[in-house]
Structure 1
Amino acid sequence: MSGFPDRRQDIRAAIPDLRGTLTANAPAAPLSWFRTGGPAQLLFEPADEADLALFLANRPPDLPLTVIGRGSNLLIRDGGLPGVLIRLGRGFAQIAVEDGHRVRAGTGAADVKVARIAAEAGIDGLTFLRGIPGAIGGALRMNGGAYGGEVKDVLVEVRALDNMGAVHVLDNAAMGFAYRHSAVAVDMIFTQALFQGYPGDPQALLARMQEITEARSSTQPVNTRTGGSTFRNPPGMKAWELIDAAGCRGLQIGDAQVSPMHCNFLINHGHATAADIEALGEDVRRKVHETSGVELIWEIRRIGLPG
């Protein structure tokens, strides 16, 4: 692909006070843990919430928007992303301990860092975040959970911007949480979350986090190019067991492979395309359906155009 039209001049002219960075035809592969995918027509990295609100209120309306954080549970397709890819990075990574055993975190903050800061402050209830790769924004959108906890168990409220840049504060009930799902409209961009914990012993909490770290390392391919859990667990079942029973453990297309260690993880061994990874996932879904009648649902978010 030769690239998308460069619209930076249009945006700078329309929004001269914009403080964030704009990059045309930005390589998007480095932004996801799979390390695959074509370019983003425009990559916008806002300086902070106010900068993002300014952009949303004044952006060219013909450019579609896609929002990502740390890219852990994401597959960017090989044809790239038309429109604007908004990446919530350093300006959304603040974490603060508040009175009443609460933690406030920007949605670009790493889940593991939130868990650690809470533990060091003697705040229990958030250690499960150590088991979730990625950032708080993704955990909110998917009601992330691991090791006995879920976001819905600890969330007080979320700050979000609508597609015109207006600020909304959503309480736990307004999030519409279900298993690996939030019912909030996809065009709402989460910017900050407030979590409620309870008193705990810092040393015990840090030890629990270490146990989670060791458990993940011994059961999941954590040091590989992977997107985390590929498919949601069907009700009363485990996706990995269905995949294993269908004979898919170690299945491979090019450099894309079903992890031999944990077969609900797909791995890029270095040269897999997004098409390879997605085709492998679809092959797994077909085989599972043939053997068990169960229709697996993708947990990994797939965005962009086919190559």
Structure 2
Amino acid sequence: MLLAEGNQTSAVTFTLLGFSEYPDLQVPLFLVFLTIYTVTVLGNLSMILIIRINPKLKTPMYFFLSHLSFIDFCYSTTVTPKLLENLVLEDRTISFTGCIMQFFFACLFAVTEAFMLTMMAYDRYVALCALLVAGPYTWGIVCSLIPTYFLLKLSFCGSSIINNFLCEYSAIVSVSCSDPYIGQMFSSVIAIVNEVMSTLLIILTSYIFIFVTVLKIRSASGRRKAFSTCASHLTAITIFHGTILSLYCVPNSKNSRQTVKVASVFYTVVNPMLNPLIYSLRNKDVKDAFRKLIDIKVHSQCVV
């Protein structure tokens, strides 16, 4: 019997199966994901701190990078703590409100990161930082509210089992007792517009102009330096969009559920850890700023 729409929010609970089919791997997986989350938090917060306090990093590129680190921190924190909890506790339930909120914020930060990376490519030509940063956040909220609205219109039949470790749109829809056609249609259109028509198209167009400009540089060392500057951003884009495309290209079948889970882990848990590592390890200015920060702390402790 369907729950009345008025009380479905308080009555419905979901069960996130996560990786419960591997009982012997619960502790090792917990340690792996805890390590990843720790590196993610420390890496992204350190990037924000270094960029904020170092006057040499007060440039448009680092302004965007600090926001990218903030988004990665929030994105990981939306998903990973619940994943860690489900690996050590037998109770893997999540309330309707909690599930919808997790989906909303995960969608918000995923869309925002996609367009933040786009703006970082566009920033090679202009430095309208505040406006360009506000755009991805605003569009991320809009794109998250639309599918969330359609999820709130669905009806559910009591406790429902979600064969994933997070509340993502297709997983929630699959346990609904309503016809999700209209919501799925809108969500598919949003995904196509965001992933292909907007982000990748703008990024590819931007980098075509960049490569043409770089090739005109007469000095070989100048060309290498210019390509090196873009390498970090291209690496981040490849990882982010590659995992999204692989996730959404997987056929919706029982045989592919584990593949979807693995792709989801990389997309939601691992990727937020990689961005600060990619940009810091390949960036001389960031490494120098980090060394100076460590030297200041060590010196202050020695003085005390």
Q: Which of the pair has the greater relative contact order for Cα pairs under 8 Å at 6+ separation?
A: 2
- More strand per residue: 1 or 2? 1
- More helix per residue: 1 or 2? 2
Give the TM-score normalised by structure 1: 0.25
Give the TM-score normalised by structure 2: 0.25
